[in-house]
Amino acid sequence: MTEHIIEVNSKNFVEKVIKGSESLAVIVDFWAPWCSPCKQLTPIIENAVNTVSDKVILAKINIDENQSIAAQMQIQSIPMVYAFFKGEVVDGFQGNIPESQVIEFVKKISELVGPNEDIKAQTVNLEKYITVSNWNKALEEADLILDVDQNNIDACCGKILSLIGLNKFDLAKEFISILPEEILNKDKIKDLCLKLEVNENSFKASENFDDLKKFLENNPNDIKAYIDLSNAMFGIGKISDCYATLIKAIKIDPEWNNQEARKKLLSFISSHDLTSEEARKARRQLSSILFD
């Protein structure tokens, strides 16, 4: 047994489970030495609790030795698992369930406790560094959070955004590839995947900035040249020039290649900053072209 995996009996049940669940979540595993399914569940639930040991206590109760508790909790068969928080039963399951469901159960219970004080402080720092585009520091804070809570959505987003900001696109894609499906399905992550694609393409285009600029000067009505140059401008952070270049292209031919210039402009705005003055100005100009 460890500090967060304990044996509980009828004498300390109130102290360890009822009172103990006031500050942390307590998952109670009712078992018996003769129960084969219990033995199968034990390493699975212990491993799951070990990943959130700062938030969850696993209390193991041998029903053969604590029949009064088993009767009080109306335990009919084992293994039986109950989760307590703030002195009350909040969830539970009976029998052996798939390992993935056990992990999800423990994670859900741990989330009742909320982030610990260290993670709260690190999240504040993460947001601060992102605001000022200090991507190295933001990446450090994201990794500190992920060391404790590997599925923390703020830290996952912060790490991806930092890697994009540092132009480490392959590392960003590698990190995204190992995220669980439940995280990948979050809208924030989907938006960052789009941002990653846009920024990577733009960064690659920026390597040919001078050539693209010269080509457009010699071909002032080539819509694709405008789009290619806008990609390069976005890649080197010339956001206002990027938007202005696409507006020029739209003015020349708003319908070119199924409105590609308009779609490109909107994708840049969406992946950069929807609320910036540059974005508002570009949207006003776009509306003026399309609807006047």
Domain ranges of the chain: 5-110, 117-202, 207-291
Task: Give the residue from 243, 252, 249 showing the smallest Cα distance to 283.
Answer: 243
Q: What is the spatial distance between Cα 202 and Cα 181, in angstroms, rounded to a whole number?
A: 28
pLDDT at 151: 80
How does pLDDT run across 27-72, given as a tens digit for each residue? 999 999 999 999 999 999 999 998 887 789 999 999 999 999 999 9
Read off the pLDDT band of 150 (50, 70, 90).
Answer: confident
Question: Which two structure tokens, joined as six digits, stand for 84?
Answer: 């307590």
d(CA 26, CA 116): 16
Res. 148: pLDDT tops 80: no
Domain 5-110 has CATH 3.40.30.10: yes
Mean confidence (pLDDT) of the chain: 91
For residue 51, what pLDDT is reported?
83
Q: Which CATH architecture is the domain 207-291 placed in?
A: Alpha Horseshoe (1.25)
Predicted pLDDT of residue 67: 93
Amino acid, single-letter form, for residue 288: S
Structure letter (DSSP) for residue 21: G
Report whether 17 contacts 26 (CB < 8 A): yes
Question: Does this model's pTM top 0.75?
Answer: no
Q: What mean pLDDT do residues 102-131 have?
A: 88
What six digits make up the tokens of 152?
Answer: 């923390």
List pLDDT tens digits, range 228-272: 999 999 988 899 999 999 999 999 999 999 999 999 999 999 888
Task: Please tell me the predicted confidence (pLDDT) of residue 3.
Answer: 80
Q: Higher pLDDT residue, 276 or 227?
A: 227
Q: Is the pLDDT of residue 116 over 80?
A: no
Is pLDDT above 90 for 13?
Answer: yes
- Residue written as tokens 């457009």? 216
The pLDDT value recorded for residue 273 is: 80
Residues with Cβ within 8 Å of 74's Cβ and at least 6 positions away in sequence, in order, are: none
Measured in whole angstroms, the distance separating CA 173 from the mean position of its chain's CA atoms is: 14
Q: Identify the residue whose tokens are 């994009």.
A: 164
Q: Would you say residue 223 has pLDDT above 90?
A: yes
* Token code pair at residue 199: 């920024």
Three-state SS sequence of 115-156: CCHHHHHHHHHHHHHHHCCCHHHHHHHHHHHHHHCCCCHHHH
Q: Does 290 score more than 90 pLDDT?
A: no
The domain covering 117-202 belongs, at the CATH homologous superfamily level, to Tetratricopeptide repeat domain (1.25.40.10)
**Range 170-196 average pLDDT:** 91
What's the order of all strands across the beta sheet hosting 25-31? Answer: 5-7, 56-62, 25-31, 80-85, 88-94
pLDDT at 19 (0 to 100) = 94
Tell me, what's the pLDDT at 138?
Answer: 96
Q: How confident is the model at residue 292 (pLDDT cuts 50, 70, 90)?
A: low
* Catalytic sites, residue numbers: 35, 38
Give yes or no on whether 117-202 and 207-291 have one common fold: yes
